[in-house]
Structure 1
Amino acid sequence: MFWHNPKAKYQGKWEALQPLGTEGQGVILGLKQYNRVQAQLSSGLGFYYTFKRKWRLGWELGTRWTFTDYLDDVSTRYVDPALLQDGTPTGDMAAALSNRTNTKLAEANNLIT
């Protein structure tokens, strides 16, 4: 099990994305907020070599499989920003953070911080 809390910078401050419902959760009927506690599977392999009973050299390889598509708050849909602006108290922020496709370009042009 693990807990995750995706965040993004909005007007110079880090904001948690899950409560904003950036995919329309809480605005579109039937869409529920995702759970921030998720299951995961870990596996790995490795070997160790011991020198003179005092030194140990090791190598490990590991991987993790998660069962959520929301590690970065993005899954399958991009909602019309107007729907988010009208539907929630934090609508302007939710709309601004719902599609971060051009974030690096906007930062380079000093459009957002």
Structure 2
Amino acid sequence: KHILIVDDDPVMLRTIKGWLEGTYQVTMVNSGMNAITYLAKNKPDLILLDYEMPVVTGAKVLEMIRSELSTASLPVIFLTSKSDKESVMEVLKLKPEGYLLKTMSPGEILKALDDFFIKQKAK
């Protein structure tokens, strides 16, 4: 399975790539616009999208993905460091396939992704 990670923080990108690359094929981009450019030519099995990014926010990127026929059905899981109720509700309004907290352990994040792909297969 191929996962696209979109995050403006290079340390976070490398960290998550390190957690996932034994199990998944990982591509990293460091901005929402780079993600949209990448998606014009590539279709990953899942997009892990940082919710809080400068210039083009995660919410805006998701909107752009959903508005293009070629990418509308790509699954998106938000990565966020905000776990307060208001932030979570904002994220869920956008109807992503899920959201993961950046504070979760590598094991928890891997398990969430494995579970996601198992559910996808069952559909």
TM-score if structure 2 supplies the norm length? 0.26
TM-score if structure 1 supplies the norm length? 0.27
- Kindly indicate which of the two structures has a greater share of residues assigned to strand: 1
**Higher RCO (C-alpha 8 Å, min separation 6):** 1
